[in-house]
Chain A
Amino acid sequence: MKLTSNVSGYSHPAPGTQPDYLYPAYAATRKRAPRHPLTLVPQTLSEIAGPVFGHSDIGENDNDLTCQHECEPLGQRIIVTGQVLDENARPVPNALVEIWQANAAGRYRHNMDDHPAPLDPNFTGCGRLLTSAEGRYRLITVKPGAYPWKNHHNAWRPAHIHFSIFGAGLLTRLVTQMYFPGDPLLTFDPIFNSVPDASARLRLVSSLDWDAAVPGEALGYRFDIVLRGRESTPWRNE
């Protein structure tokens, strides 16, 4: 006999906290944003569940981007730490976090990146980890450089690290970017500014964290991540 699903659903993000698909200042959205509104449907087991990852998906030193080659990469060494939580402030353990970034000169090790800044033979810019039982993570890397792009005249992306996170279910999936505090380029970046709510936008900016720093070696930055959480009133579909 088949079991029916009887599960509480995930809440919807508050208005303004997520970007819309169409944001014309970010030119690539103009031909890629759907014109139809999304079709609202009930959550089912297919979306409440989601892929489960484990330690076999992670290699040794995957969370330390400074020791993946023979020598250390160029650039300012930094430590990025934080906690992955849900909207109910509950830690998300065993979340798969994947990150990628440009090197200190603002160049990605990617064949489509034609920015004429040097590659660093000692830096790939790819990392991966699982959050701890308390939802915490720690990355060691170098601060990425800003780089130009072709969105508009004299367009430069602020320094950022890409984050991809799998929480407990498909609906908690999040891909985002972490920025650095005080970056003057944030004001001019259409990707950052696509988030309508100003306070929501600021949650993409990490903070300088002396507790995470290693004196004499590396500055620390804190970046907490909040995924969709379960509705407090159980939602039933049977």
Chain B
Amino acid sequence: MSLPTTPSQTVGPFFHLGLDPLNQGNLAGLRGTGDVMTIQGRILDGDGEGVSDGLIEIWLADSQGHYSHPEDRGGTTGGEVFRGFGRISTGSSGFFRVAVPKPGPVAGSEGALQAPHVVVTVFARGLLKQLITRIYFPDEAANATDAILSRVPAERRSTLIARRVAGAENLLEWNIILQGDGETVFFDF
């Protein structure tokens, strides 16, 4: 038996009413922490204007590279575990900031590991369905062999890799460009 999926519809401009209660932008200090990285940036539209009514959800493994989910055979669930979920609504100018313990390398295909990354889901008024992308970390040797990054045309790969902010330790910058020059790579799985 096969049922057709329910169509997606936009979150609209008033999602804060229903979704803000579970907002969580600071995942540091929770169990499973390693180095804490702060990632900040803006969501920009096709005119380069900030998207001030956007919502991002992040999903990441713990510092050992395990997800708090029953299908991660090395992971654990229940009790005091690192949930790995964050949700942030953008402020004026489309700005967002999250603090996360840096995830470890995650199981990939054929015994290979994936480079450390954060999965990002983007919602906004004007997005009829969510966009999914990833944040990779700079100066990470494993990026060169990551199976997902290597599927991305070389000239667009940099849209997925956060940049260090000069003079600030453990502060990274990463923008989400919805449309136009430097458009972020979004995935279909």
Contacts and interface: CB of A to CB of B under 8 A. Distances in A.
Given A35-B180, A44-B148, A176-B8, A100 B187 contact: no
A156 interface: no
A223 to B, nearest CB: 9
A200 interface: yes
A20 B126 CA distance: 11
A41 B188 contact: yes
A162 B12 contact: yes
Interface residues of A, number: 85
Interface residues of B, number: 82
Contacts of A93: none
Interface in B1-57: 1-19, 21-22, 45-47, 49, 51, 53, 57
A117 to B, nearest CB: 14
Given A124-B17, A125-B17, A46 B71 contact: no
A48 interface: yes
B18 A45 contact: no
Interface string B125-145: 111111110100000000000
A238 to B, nearest CB: 5
Nearest to B77: A52
Interface stretch (A10-18, A70-78, A211-219): A10-18
B74 A18 contact: no
Contacts of B57: 173
A50 B61 CA distance: 10
Interface string A96-139: 00111010000011101100000000001111100000000000
Contacts of A227: 5-6
B3 A87 contact: yes
Contacts of B189: 9-10, 40-43, 47, 171
23 contacts: A3-B74, A4-B108, A19-B9, A26-B126, A26-B128, A28-B126, A31-B179, A32-B45, A34-B179, A36-B186, A44-B109, A45-B67, A46-B117, A47-B119, A50-B69, A109-B17, A113-B14, A125-B17, A128-B18, A176-B6, A176-B7, A194-B9, A226-B6
Interface of B: 1-19, 21-22, 45-47, 49, 51, 53, 57, 59, 61, 65, 67-74, 77, 83-85, 105-114, 117, 119, 121, 123-132, 134, 147-148, 151-152, 156, 178-180, 183-189
